A and B are shown apart, each in its own frame.
Chain A
């Protein structure tokens, strides 16, 4: 196994893949959205409980590859308890981390968030896998807008 692969499939990603956090669905969500990458088949569904502008609870479920699943799992741990504005900032930072050569937004996040998101920085080296990691975040973005559109990164 080469170094690039080891960086992609870090222990923490494998751990979230094996033991996804916040997996399942909320009974009475205030917000929800579905995401689907038609080219690769990744599917994800988010249910959220939002009160007073704060994401009080979030769950995800779906069928997806390890990168998508780990990204969704990490995302739920990061955004739980944040305000909608903070969640949006995190979405933008994550998106930039995976799509820009020299991302800057992640470094200005709080250390706990920065460390969790940075685990995915190597995904950028595997261009065909970027959409796997960003799908959960695009789905969150739609859920927060209460959009009924199925999110897609294609």
Chain B
């Protein structure tokens, strides 16, 4: 265990932001990684290098710089395809983030897939980004969302999930890891079920992606989305994986430059996927920097370390938080990622977050963009500590110590 902690301590040197102090003078303890992660120097340098040496628009200039920028951008697509174990880079579409990704898919499915009365099967743990885009569809085509319940430990109720599949189920759209609880959903089992019944299957991997390796083919997924900024990359870049031939089937999301073959006054024809879905100038530098964050994660840090160390941190945090009197811990089901949500009847999450902030601890208090889940848990909000491989056991000790003080203060 000591080796893992020492490795984490060394890796922290790669993240300049972590060495700041909170205005109160305390060291900054960043436990809000499910909201966004910090960027290693390699990613920051990639952004700077692109703008200082290679900046040009892509896919349209015949000049040298444009060709270089295009090469790096398309190389990034290959890196992402490999990261997801996709069959081809043509299945990778760059978008702004997970939210835009799901909206893109919903927009397309509305036009070519859904009929009135269709049902969408989700889990009770969905983020608003995997709820509201489907509500927007329902304004035009009356479709119904069916949320499959969780067990009390935050894991999916598998029996109930299977019972929710009906002949009207036309999409299964689930999170791979709950952003509020950290619990994992049985993605491969759900994918197999969906494939067997010929139901398209969408996976929101925004939280899963930074914690565990993804294999979209093993998942039997038709669509997978994630965001760069939660994966140690920049904001403004995200990914949609679209299994072939969905890229052919779905209509374009936005119209504009770069997504066309020919434009006339009366009509236009569209490019092949993925360009078909990338209208206008994409976030070029961000895509290239995302590829660097993936290289950093998979090559420098490595999945073996990430999984072993984060598992240790998850268990350690559970033990320390459970020692705090009167705290209710949510999402104890395994497997789970390094995210803990907790609640105290005596201390409202906002009071808790204010106290933690004054101790230099960045944690999130609120409904975590998952109001239906909060309702199911029967709490107005929770406090969430979400960890990354650069967090240390000593930081969890500080969290636990503050929690003891807060609870003592209010009770």
* Residue positions of A touching B, CB distance < 8 A: 1-2, 4-5, 8-9, 14, 17, 39-43, 63-67, 126, 128-129, 132
Contacts and interface: CB of A to CB of B under 8 A. Distances in A.
Contact of A40 (B358, B366, B409): B366
Interface in B344-402: 347-351, 354-355, 358, 365-367, 374, 380-381
B358 A65 contact: no
Nearest to B350: A65
B351 A65 contact: yes
A53 B83 CA distance: 69
A56 B374 CA distance: 37
B367 A1 contact: no
B24 interface: yes
Given A41-B380, A129-B350, A66 B355 contact: no
B64 interface: no
Contacts of B405: 1
Contact of A1 (B349, B351, B366, B409): B409
Contacts of A126: 354
B351 A66 contact: yes
6 contacts: A1-B405, A5-B355, A40-B366, A40-B381, A41-B380, A129-B350
Given A1-B409, A39-B366, A63 B354 contact: no
Contact of A41 (B24, B354, B366, B409): B366
Contacts of A66: 347-348, 351, 410
Interface residues of B, number: 18
Given A66-B351, A66-B410, A43 B358 contact: no
B160 to A, nearest CB: 27
A39 B188 CA distance: 34
A14 B410 contact: yes
Interface of B: 24, 347-351, 354-355, 358, 365-367, 374, 380-381, 405, 409-410
Given A14-B410, A39-B366, A41-B367, A132 B350 contact: yes
Of B349, B351, B374, B381, most buried by chain A (CB within 10 Å of CB) is B351
Given A5-B355, A39-B366, 7 more contacts: A1-B355, A1-B409, A2-B358, A41-B381, A66-B351, A67-B350, A67-B351
A18 B355 CA distance: 18
A9 B350 CA distance: 13
A120 to B, nearest CB: 14
Contacts of B348: 64-66
A104 to B, nearest CB: 27
Contacts of A1: 355, 358, 405, 409
Contacts of A65: 348-351
Nearest to B367: A41
A63 B380 contact: yes
B354 A8 contact: yes
Nearest to A132: B350
A4 B358 contact: yes
A129 B355 CA distance: 12
Q: Which of A2, A64, A126 is the most central at the interface, judged by chain B CB atoms within 10 Å of its CB?
A: A2
A66 B348 CA distance: 7
Nearest to B411: A18
B54 to A, nearest CB: 40
Nearest to B365: A40
Contact of B24 (A2, A43, A129): A2
A5 B349 CA distance: 16
A129 B374 CA distance: 21
Contacts of A42: 350, 380
Contacts of A2: 24, 358
Contacts of B355: 1, 5
Contacts of A67: 350-351
A132 B354 CA distance: 12
